[in-house]
Amino acid sequence: MPDDIRVVIRSNLDIVTARQEGRALAARTGFSATDVTLIATAISELARNIVSYARQGEIVLRVVESANAKGVMIISRDSGPGIRSIDDAMRDGYSTSGGLGLGLPGVRRLVDEFIIESVLGQGTVVRVTKWLR
Amino acid sequence: MEVPILKQGHYLIATIQAALSDEDLLQLRRALLDRVIKFRSRGVVVDVTALDVMDSFATRTLRDITYMIRLRGADTVIVGIQPEVAFAMVQLGLTLEGVATALDLEEGLAHLEQRARSSS
Protein backbone atom coordinates (compact mmCIF):
# COMPACT_ATOMS: atom_id res chain seq x y z
CA MET A 1 0.00 0.00 0.00
CA PRO A 2 1.55 3.32 -1.05
CA ASP A 3 0.24 5.40 1.85
CA ASP A 4 1.31 3.03 4.61
CA ILE A 5 3.37 4.50 7.39
CA ARG A 6 6.09 2.11 8.49
CA VAL A 7 8.02 2.40 11.72
CA VAL A 8 10.89 0.01 12.30
CA ILE A 9 10.87 -1.11 15.94
CA ARG A 10 14.29 -1.87 17.41
CA SER A 11 14.40 -0.04 20.72
CA ASN A 12 12.20 1.65 23.29
CA LEU A 13 12.72 4.96 21.45
CA ASP A 14 10.94 3.52 18.40
CA ILE A 15 7.90 2.80 20.58
CA VAL A 16 7.53 6.55 21.13
CA THR A 17 7.95 7.25 17.41
CA ALA A 18 5.34 4.63 16.46
CA ARG A 19 2.71 5.96 18.82
CA GLN A 20 3.35 9.56 17.76
CA GLU A 21 2.92 8.59 14.09
CA GLY A 22 -0.26 6.70 15.00
CA ARG A 23 -1.61 9.59 17.02
CA ALA A 24 -1.05 12.00 14.11
CA LEU A 25 -2.62 9.62 11.57
CA ALA A 26 -5.66 8.96 13.77
CA ALA A 27 -6.18 12.69 14.33
CA ARG A 28 -5.90 13.36 10.56
CA THR A 29 -8.44 10.59 9.90
CA GLY A 30 -10.94 12.37 12.16
CA PHE A 31 -10.90 10.33 15.38
CA SER A 32 -11.90 11.97 18.67
CA ALA A 33 -9.29 12.80 21.31
CA THR A 34 -10.35 9.72 23.29
CA ASP A 35 -10.06 7.38 20.32
CA VAL A 36 -6.73 8.92 19.30
CA THR A 37 -5.43 8.08 22.79
CA LEU A 38 -6.82 4.53 22.62
CA ILE A 39 -5.09 4.03 19.25
CA ALA A 40 -1.78 5.48 20.52
CA THR A 41 -1.97 3.24 23.61
CA ALA A 42 -2.66 0.13 21.50
CA ILE A 43 0.35 0.96 19.30
CA SER A 44 2.51 1.44 22.38
CA GLU A 45 1.60 -2.02 23.74
CA LEU A 46 2.06 -3.77 20.37
CA ALA A 47 5.43 -2.09 19.77
CA ARG A 48 6.44 -2.95 23.33
CA ASN A 49 5.74 -6.62 22.68
CA ILE A 50 8.06 -6.48 19.65
CA VAL A 51 10.89 -4.98 21.74
CA SER A 52 10.32 -7.36 24.68
CA TYR A 53 9.79 -10.64 22.83
CA ALA A 54 11.17 -10.33 19.30
CA ARG A 55 13.78 -7.57 19.65
CA GLN A 56 12.87 -6.12 16.28
CA GLY A 57 10.03 -5.81 13.87
CA GLU A 58 7.77 -3.15 12.44
CA ILE A 59 4.55 -1.30 13.01
CA VAL A 60 2.56 -0.42 9.88
CA LEU A 61 -0.20 2.19 10.07
CA ARG A 62 -2.87 2.29 7.38
CA VAL A 63 -6.09 4.17 6.74
CA VAL A 64 -8.76 1.63 5.73
CA GLU A 65 -12.20 2.10 4.20
CA SER A 66 -15.17 -0.23 4.03
CA ALA A 67 -18.50 0.42 2.26
CA ASN A 68 -19.73 2.76 4.97
CA ALA A 69 -16.88 3.34 7.38
CA LYS A 70 -13.36 4.64 7.68
CA GLY A 71 -10.78 3.49 10.13
CA VAL A 72 -7.16 2.99 11.04
CA MET A 73 -5.44 -0.39 10.89
CA ILE A 74 -2.31 -1.11 12.90
CA ILE A 75 -0.18 -4.04 11.83
CA SER A 76 2.51 -5.27 14.18
CA ARG A 77 4.91 -7.70 12.54
CA ASP A 78 7.98 -9.45 13.85
CA SER A 79 10.06 -12.51 13.08
CA GLY A 80 10.60 -13.37 16.71
CA PRO A 81 10.06 -16.67 18.53
CA GLY A 82 6.30 -16.73 17.95
CA ILE A 83 3.60 -17.48 20.52
CA ARG A 84 3.19 -21.08 21.68
CA SER A 85 -0.43 -20.76 22.72
CA ILE A 86 -2.49 -17.85 21.44
CA ASP A 87 -5.34 -18.92 23.75
CA ASP A 88 -3.05 -18.51 26.75
CA ALA A 89 -1.64 -15.23 25.45
CA MET A 90 -5.15 -13.84 25.04
CA ARG A 91 -6.05 -14.60 28.64
CA ASP A 92 -5.79 -11.75 31.15
CA GLY A 93 -2.92 -12.26 33.53
CA TYR A 94 -0.78 -14.46 31.30
CA SER A 95 2.80 -13.46 30.53
CA THR A 96 5.99 -15.23 29.61
CA SER A 97 8.32 -12.24 30.06
CA GLY A 98 7.58 -11.37 33.67
CA GLY A 99 5.52 -8.40 32.59
CA LEU A 100 2.06 -7.48 33.73
CA GLY A 101 0.62 -10.15 31.48
CA LEU A 102 -2.17 -8.05 30.05
CA GLY A 103 -0.68 -6.88 26.81
CA LEU A 104 -2.80 -8.59 24.18
CA PRO A 105 -6.20 -8.93 25.91
CA GLY A 106 -5.86 -5.27 26.91
CA VAL A 107 -5.08 -4.22 23.34
CA ARG A 108 -8.12 -6.16 22.11
CA ARG A 109 -10.32 -4.08 24.42
CA LEU A 110 -8.91 -0.83 22.97
CA VAL A 111 -9.87 -1.61 19.35
CA ASP A 112 -12.81 -2.92 17.28
CA GLU A 113 -11.12 -5.75 15.41
CA PHE A 114 -8.21 -7.90 16.50
CA ILE A 115 -6.54 -10.63 14.45
CA ILE A 116 -3.42 -12.46 15.53
CA GLU A 117 -1.35 -15.01 13.65
CA SER A 118 1.76 -16.58 15.06
CA VAL A 119 4.06 -19.37 13.97
CA LEU A 120 6.59 -20.78 16.40
CA GLY A 121 10.10 -19.92 15.31
CA GLN A 122 8.84 -17.63 12.55
CA GLY A 123 7.12 -14.72 14.19
CA THR A 124 3.90 -12.97 14.98
CA VAL A 125 1.57 -10.65 13.08
CA VAL A 126 -1.15 -8.72 14.90
CA ARG A 127 -3.67 -6.68 12.89
CA VAL A 128 -6.01 -4.40 14.78
CA THR A 129 -8.54 -1.93 13.42
CA LYS A 130 -10.38 0.95 15.00
CA TRP A 131 -13.39 2.27 13.08
CA LEU A 132 -14.48 5.88 13.03
CA ARG A 133 -18.03 6.36 14.33
CA MET B 1 14.35 13.89 27.61
CA GLU B 2 15.17 14.46 31.27
CA VAL B 3 12.32 15.33 33.63
CA PRO B 4 13.04 18.43 35.73
CA ILE B 5 12.73 17.89 39.49
CA LEU B 6 12.05 20.90 41.67
CA LYS B 7 12.71 20.98 45.42
CA GLN B 8 10.13 22.90 47.41
CA GLY B 9 10.65 22.64 51.15
CA HIS B 10 10.14 19.04 52.22
CA TYR B 11 8.67 18.13 48.85
CA LEU B 12 9.92 17.29 45.39
CA ILE B 13 7.95 18.12 42.25
CA ALA B 14 8.71 16.26 39.01
CA THR B 15 6.96 17.71 35.99
CA ILE B 16 6.90 15.54 32.89
CA GLN B 17 7.02 17.85 29.89
CA ALA B 18 6.85 15.59 26.85
CA ALA B 19 6.34 11.98 25.78
CA LEU B 20 8.77 9.75 27.65
CA SER B 21 10.61 6.67 26.44
CA ASP B 22 11.13 3.69 28.77
CA GLU B 23 14.70 4.90 29.27
CA ASP B 24 13.43 8.34 30.37
CA LEU B 25 10.99 6.77 32.83
CA LEU B 26 13.75 4.67 34.41
CA GLN B 27 15.96 7.75 34.58
CA LEU B 28 13.13 9.59 36.38
CA ARG B 29 12.86 6.70 38.86
CA ARG B 30 16.60 6.87 39.63
CA ALA B 31 16.66 10.66 39.89
CA LEU B 32 13.64 10.81 42.21
CA LEU B 33 15.00 8.13 44.52
CA ASP B 34 18.42 9.80 44.66
CA ARG B 35 16.87 13.12 45.56
CA VAL B 36 14.42 11.78 48.11
CA ILE B 37 17.43 10.32 49.91
CA LYS B 38 19.68 13.36 49.44
CA PHE B 39 17.11 15.93 50.60
CA ARG B 40 15.31 13.67 53.09
CA SER B 41 12.08 14.62 51.33
CA ARG B 42 8.73 13.86 52.92
CA GLY B 43 6.70 13.80 49.74
CA VAL B 44 6.86 13.73 45.95
CA VAL B 45 4.45 14.99 43.32
CA VAL B 46 4.77 13.57 39.80
CA ASP B 47 2.87 15.71 37.31
CA VAL B 48 1.90 13.64 34.25
CA THR B 49 -0.37 16.25 32.61
CA ALA B 50 1.82 16.25 29.47
CA LEU B 51 1.80 12.45 29.09
CA ASP B 52 -0.43 11.51 26.16
CA VAL B 53 -0.14 7.76 26.75
CA MET B 54 0.25 5.74 29.94
CA ASP B 55 0.90 2.21 28.76
CA SER B 56 1.77 -0.83 30.87
CA PHE B 57 5.41 0.16 31.27
CA ALA B 58 4.70 3.75 32.32
CA THR B 59 2.05 2.60 34.78
CA ARG B 60 4.31 -0.03 36.29
CA THR B 61 7.22 2.42 36.59
CA LEU B 62 5.10 5.07 38.32
CA ARG B 63 3.80 2.43 40.72
CA ASP B 64 7.36 1.23 41.42
CA ILE B 65 8.46 4.81 42.10
CA THR B 66 5.65 5.22 44.62
CA TYR B 67 6.43 1.95 46.40
CA MET B 68 10.18 2.63 46.53
CA ILE B 69 9.67 6.12 47.90
CA ARG B 70 7.20 4.76 50.46
CA LEU B 71 9.93 2.45 51.75
CA ARG B 72 11.90 5.63 52.47
CA GLY B 73 8.96 6.84 54.54
CA ALA B 74 7.78 9.43 52.03
CA ASP B 75 4.52 9.81 50.10
CA THR B 76 4.03 10.14 46.36
CA VAL B 77 1.08 11.64 44.50
CA ILE B 78 0.54 11.31 40.76
CA VAL B 79 -1.30 14.34 39.41
CA GLY B 80 -2.79 15.38 36.08
CA ILE B 81 -3.76 12.07 34.45
CA GLN B 82 -5.77 13.27 31.45
CA PRO B 83 -9.34 11.97 31.07
CA GLU B 84 -8.59 10.19 27.76
CA VAL B 85 -5.48 8.64 29.28
CA ALA B 86 -7.47 7.44 32.30
CA PHE B 87 -10.07 5.92 29.96
CA ALA B 88 -7.40 4.09 27.93
CA MET B 89 -5.69 2.81 31.10
CA VAL B 90 -8.92 1.31 32.42
CA GLN B 91 -9.75 -0.28 29.05
CA LEU B 92 -6.27 -1.76 28.96
CA GLY B 93 -6.78 -3.15 32.47
CA LEU B 94 -4.13 -1.00 34.16
CA THR B 95 -4.61 0.19 37.71
CA LEU B 96 -2.52 2.29 40.07
CA GLU B 97 -3.45 0.33 43.16
CA GLY B 98 -2.09 1.81 46.36
CA VAL B 99 -0.97 4.95 44.55
CA ALA B 100 -2.41 8.35 45.49
CA THR B 101 -3.66 10.47 42.60
CA ALA B 102 -4.95 14.03 42.51
CA LEU B 103 -6.39 16.38 39.92
CA ASP B 104 -3.50 18.83 39.71
CA LEU B 105 -0.32 20.07 41.38
CA GLU B 106 -2.21 22.20 43.91
CA GLU B 107 -4.39 19.32 45.07
CA GLY B 108 -1.39 17.00 45.06
CA LEU B 109 0.50 19.29 47.42
CA ALA B 110 -2.62 19.67 49.59
CA HIS B 111 -2.80 15.87 49.83
CA LEU B 112 0.84 15.70 50.98
CA GLU B 113 0.24 18.43 53.61
CA GLN B 114 -2.75 16.54 54.91
CA ARG B 115 -0.77 13.29 55.14
CA ALA B 116 2.03 15.12 56.99
CA ARG B 117 -0.45 16.62 59.48
CA SER B 118 -2.26 13.36 60.15
CA SER B 119 0.95 11.44 60.79
CA SER B 120 2.52 14.00 63.14
Chain A, nearest residue to B53 by Cα = A41
pLDDT of residue A93: 65
Average confidence (pLDDT) over B99-120:
93
The per-residue pLDDT for range B23-36, each reduced to its tens digit, is 999 999 999 999 99
Chain A, nearest residue to B87 by Cα = A34
Binary contact (B92, A109; C-beta < 8 A): yes
Fold of B5-119: Transcription Regulator spoIIAA (3.30.750)
Exposure string (b/e) for A59-89, b if CB count within 10 Å is 16 or more? bbbbbeeeeeeebbbbbbbbebbbbeeeeeb
Residue A94's pLDDT band (cuts 50, 70, 90): low
Chain B: give the shortest CA distance to residue A119, in Å. Answer: 25
pLDDT of residue A91: 79
pLDDT of residue A101: 52
Residues of A in contact with B23 (CB under 8 A): 12-13
Chain A: give the shortest CA distance to residue B82, in Å. Answer: 10
Cα gap A83→A63, rounded to integer Å = 27
Least confident of A35-39, A92-96, B11-15, B29-33: A92-96
pLDDT of residue B120: 67
Q: Which of A16, A34, A92 sits opposite B19 (nearest CB)?
A: A16
Residue A2's pLDDT band (cuts 50, 70, 90): low
The ipTM estimated for the assembled molecules is 0.91
Average confidence (pLDDT) over A64-83:
94
Q: What percent of chain A has pLDDT over 90?
A: 72
Structural domain boundaries in chain B: 5-119
The per-residue pLDDT for range B44-75, each reduced to its tens digit, is 999 999 999 999 999 999 999 999 999 999 99
- Across chain B, mean pLDDT equals 95
Chain B: give the shortest CA distance to residue A36, in Å. Answer: 9
| B14, pLDDT greater than 50 | yes
Structure pTM? 0.92
Strand A70-78 and strand A123-131: the pairing is antiparallel
pLDDT of residue A3: 87
Q: Got the DSSP string for B38-101?
A: HHT-SEEEEE-TT-S---HHHHHHHHHHHHHHHHTT-EEEEE---HHHHHHHHHHT---TT-EE
Q: Identify the contact set of chain B against chain A, taking CB-CB distances under 8 A.
A: 19-23, 52-57, 60, 82-85, 87-89, 91-94
Interface membership of A107 toward B (CB under 8 Å)? yes
Binary contact (A38, B88; C-beta < 8 A): yes
| Closest-CA residue to B91 (of A65, A70, A92) | A92
Average confidence (pLDDT) over B7-12:
96
Binary contact (A45, B92; C-beta < 8 A): yes
Asked if residues A71 and A64 have their Cβ atoms less than 8 Å apart, the reply is yes
Cα gap A11→A28, rounded to integer Å = 26
Binary contact (A37, B87; C-beta < 8 A): yes
| Closest-CA residue to A126 (of A99, A94, A90) | A90
pLDDT of residue A128: 98
Q: Which of A13, A92, A102 sits opposite B56 (nearest CB)?
A: A102
Could you give the number of structural domains in chain A?
1
Cα gap B85→B89, rounded to integer Å = 6
Average confidence (pLDDT) over A34-55:
95
The CATH number of residue A58's host domain is 3.30.565.10
| A99, pLDDT greater than 80 | no
pLDDT of residue A1: 67
Cα gap B9→B13, rounded to integer Å = 10
Average confidence (pLDDT) over A19-46:
97
Asked if residues A110 and A72 have their Cβ atoms less than 8 Å apart, the reply is no
